[in-house]
Amino acid sequence: MGKKTTHVCIFPAWAEQRGFYTANAARLDGNRGANNLLRLAVEGKLCLCLFRPGYTKKKGLFWVEIWGALLMPYTINRQ
């Protein structure tokens, strides 16, 4: 089984790329990296796509949502 990409590897890597270090200990500042990534997503400069919990169990079922309001479920038949 392959490694999972999690916040533990994404945020410090982004902090290193952007040069975010703590003032006293000069360690990577993962919190600042996370904040920067989330701000980019909110401003629309970064496309953030996350799968719903259980998505891999129900690959054929998708939900249409607008601003968190559930509109309708629909299925896609993949052949």
pLDDT in tens, 38-74: 898 888 888 777 666 666 665 555 555 444 444 444 4
Q: Other C-beta atoms within 10 Å of 73: how many?
A: 9
This prediction has a pTM of 0.57
- Give the whole-number percent of the chain exceeding pLDDT 70: 57
DSSP 3-state assignment of 25?
coil
Degrees to nearest 5, angle at CA 24 with 22 and 27: 40
Q: Identify which of 63, 59, 64, 53 has the alpha carbon closest to the alpha carbon of residue 79.
A: 59
Q: What is the mean pLDDT of the chain?
A: 73
Report the pLDDT value the prediction gives residue 21, as an integer from 0 to 100. Answer: 94
